Structure 1
Amino acid sequence: MKPTSVAGHGRLLAATCAALFFFSASSLAHDGIDHSKPAPIRADSHAPIGVMGDHMHKAGEVMFSYRYKRMDMSGVRDGMDDLSNAQVLATPNRFFGAPMQPPGLRIIPTEMTMDMHMIGAMYAPNDNLTLMVMGMYMKKEMDHIVFNPPGNAQIGGFTTKVEGLADTKVSGLVRLMDEGPTQVHLNIGVSLPTGSITEEGAILTPMGMRPRVRLPYPMQLGSGTVDVLPGITYTDRSGDISWGAQAMATLRSGRNSENYQLGNAGELTTWAAYQFAPWVSTSLRLKGETIGKISGQDARIAGPVQTADPSNIGGRFIEAGLGVNLVGQEGYIRGHRLAIEANVPVMQDLNGPQMKRDWSLMAGWQYAF
């Protein structure tokens, strides 16, 4: 983990939350002549910011949103066990036998960061249907150390970087139940392959050469396929307490143009929130996730590194999250929402040697009218 980077993001997010606390508190303390006030807007009427497609809108309503997510990974784990560099170097190289390929892994990823910028829009043509679209711009960086062919000496390191558009999600939320605070709706969507799957970068090989190659699967920006996104969401509340649950899946439609298919994925999340006042709520969330291995193989991705092996992808994860939702109540900030959520892994059981998750942080703004 890079302390200066984390500290910088922490200061920015703390300043953002402090600003909205100030403005919201100021608006609530307003003492004008006209004391007639519109109905309060509950901060917890939206799920934690890390949950997508959690709420529907009334006929004619529009909502715009922006989310920023930072995710950090470091170290190597296989299954439930953390691996030392020596254990990674003893792992067989899938591509051994091809020219310039040593018998074991010789390039070890040490840290990966992902920065995601998500812009979304929602529109409700009627009370029972809300349409949603979300585009994403992503930046990835991965640091590596490199060992010589015998694996007994480190010869250097390198960093690969990519950025660009990721896949675009288009969804419809269909109401199933509307009984006061109890709400249930279907999530029906598709993910469109707008993210690149042919990203390249310069690397350092165990032989000391610096070729430009197609980067491994975790460094690509999209799936390359049209993916189906089915799901269901439930929300409810009683007094100052609200809760909800959501089940979502990502179903791949087939192999992409580079002859591989990312694994199907499933996610189940549940949360509870407490409203301290209409303008502020805090939440606890638990998320379980499963991600399958890659089927097929990109012929241009090869090398003595774990990320080039399509079987070293995915696993089973449980994460816990703590969030804060804020919403303006009066004046020019009425209806504007700011939210933040931090997540840490509770359990991660990985499919072969991979970098393990350290933490993720998401902050966002939403406004409906």
Structure 2
Amino acid sequence: MRLFTTVSALALAISAPALAHEPDAIRADGHAPIGVMGDHTHEAGEWMFSYRFMRMEMEGNRIGTRGVTPAEIVTSVANVNGPPATLRVVPTDMTMDMHMLGAMYAPNDRVTVMMMVNYLQNEMIHTTFAGMMGASELGRFTTRSEGFGDVKLSALFGVVDTGQTRLNLQAGLSLPTGSTGERARVLTPMGTTPTLVMPYPMQLGTGSYDPMLAATLTHQAGHWTFGGQASATLRVQDNDSGYRVGDVAHVTSWAGWSPMPSWAFFGRLEARSQGMTHGFDARFAAPVQTANPAFLGGDTVLASLGVNWVGQSGALRGQRIAAELSRPVYQDLNGPQMERDWALTLGWQYAWGGGQQRHHN
């Protein structure tokens, strides 16, 4: 009987929320991993500001699920933009840095409004092959674009909130504030170096008003947190340049373990599918794969590990600092197209005002 009582007490201690021992604790798993946005609402009168930095590295190319070399691309992939017959310029490496500033405010307990502003820094390295055919390298060049991207406005609606289980719906709109006319100096197969408008992946925005929809479900059980989110971004109009970026469908799920209120560790899986770009911008006509709308989009599955920390006292109370590292486990790309290598997201979040009780659960 004594053994049974001891085991039962241990089980209750493990499964009970950390809050049971620290009534005023703020749980680090009160928010999702930092790579997930729009996962929570706030109480009436509560504000939250956030900053995220994401670096994504891309290296190499693939067609579908198969990796391909630059030499294979320039000797076998047709150039739809006219002569030469095959592609002559191949991107080999890309780095994207994104700075994301977010603000959330809850006018009441059921609705939270959110704004996200992005600042992008893109760099892409290319190899140019000489002449009209063959695989003789002429040289390399780097293009860069930098500036503000599309601003995103949305509203989150709390549908279910039992304390442990929450369901939120989100509806929003991406505004075309990012440039679609960024230019750079390039190296052509004939050895000239003109300044041209860069192809689709190097532009800072979509140029269109894009509706966004999402649903997020989370559940806390003792030291464990589980969540899932499904979202879509719809491209419903061509932009002024004559093309429309492909629709995006996205699902993700995560599990988190919080051994103490201030720390939470997460594992997350994410699947993303993006359609091909429709239409064509004649300014992008060049013998490079990134200028072909059919070579954009595809399916990607990512696996991520993350950590959240939240201050419990003093000036750091309520300050959340988080990190998440992701790697692809599956890529099926409309190619040839550059493949993702890894991405790192770092973030800071701070909420004040309102009761903040739901974030203490």
- Give TM-score, length-normalised by structure 2: 0.90
Tell me which amino acid in the other structure corresponds to 2:235.
R
Q: Work out which of the residue numbers 40, 48, 51 in structure 2 matches 1:66.
A: 51
Q: Which residue of 2 aligns with 1:236?
A: 219
Structure 2: distance between partners of 1:77 and 1:269? 24
Q: Which runs of 5+ in 1 are unaligned?
A: 1-36
SS of alignment partner, residue 86 of structure 1: helix
Tell me which amino acid in the other structure corresponds to 1:57.
H
- Spell out, residue by residue over 1:316-342, the C-alpha distance to the aligned partner (whole angstroms, 9 max, x if none): 010000000000000110000000000
Q: Which residue of 1 aligns with 2:79?
A: 93
Q: Work out which of the residue numbers 12, 34, 38 in structure 2 matches 1:49.
A: 34
Q: Which residue of 2 aligns with 1:25?
A: none
Q: Work out which of the residue numbers 111, 115, 126 in structure 2 matches 1:129.
A: 111
Q: CA deviation at 1:198?
A: 0.7
Tell me which amino acid in the other structure corresponds to 2:102.
G
Tell me which amino acid in the other structure corresponds to 1:222.
G
Structure 1: distance between partners of 2:67 and 2:56? 19
Q: CA deviation at 1:38?
A: 6.4
Within a 5 Å distance, the mapping from 1:220-299 to structure 2 comes to 220-299=203-282
Q: Tell whether the 8 Å contact from 2:71 to 2:135 is kept in structure 1 after alignment.
A: no
Q: CA deviation at 1:95?
A: 1.4
- Give TM-score, length-normalised by structure 1: 0.88
Tell me which amino acid in the other structure corresponds to 2:344.
L
Tell me which amino acid in the other structure corresponds to 1:336.
Q
Tell me which amino acid in the other structure corresponds to 2:336.
P
Q: CA RMSD in A?
A: 1.1
Matched, 1:362 2:333: no
Q: CA deviation at 1:175?
A: 1.0
Q: Which residue of 1 aligns with 2:169?
A: 186
Q: Which residue of 1 aligns with 2:7?
A: none
SS of alignment partner, residue 257 of structure 1: coil
Q: CA deviation at 1:152?
A: 3.2
Structure 2: distance between partners of 1:352 and 1:344? 20
Structure 1: distance between partners of 2:329 and 2:146? 29
Q: Which runs of 5+ in 2 are unaligned?
A: 1-21, 353-361
Over 2 Å off, 4+ runs: none
Structure 2: distance between partners of 1:84 and 1:279? 47
Q: Work out which of the residue numbers 107, 113, 117 in structure 1 matches 2:99.
A: 117
Q: Which moved more, 1:293-302 or 1:149-158?
A: 149-158
Question: How many residues align structurally?
Answer: 330
- Spell out, residue by residue over 1:175-205, the C-alpha distance to the aligned partner (whole angstroms, 9 max, x if none): 1111121000101111001100011110000
Q: CA deviation at 1:253?
A: 2.2
Query: Structure 1 vs Structure 2: percent identity of aligned residues?
Result: 50
Q: Tell whether the 8 Å contact from 2:277 to 2:294 is kept in structure 1 after alignment.
A: yes
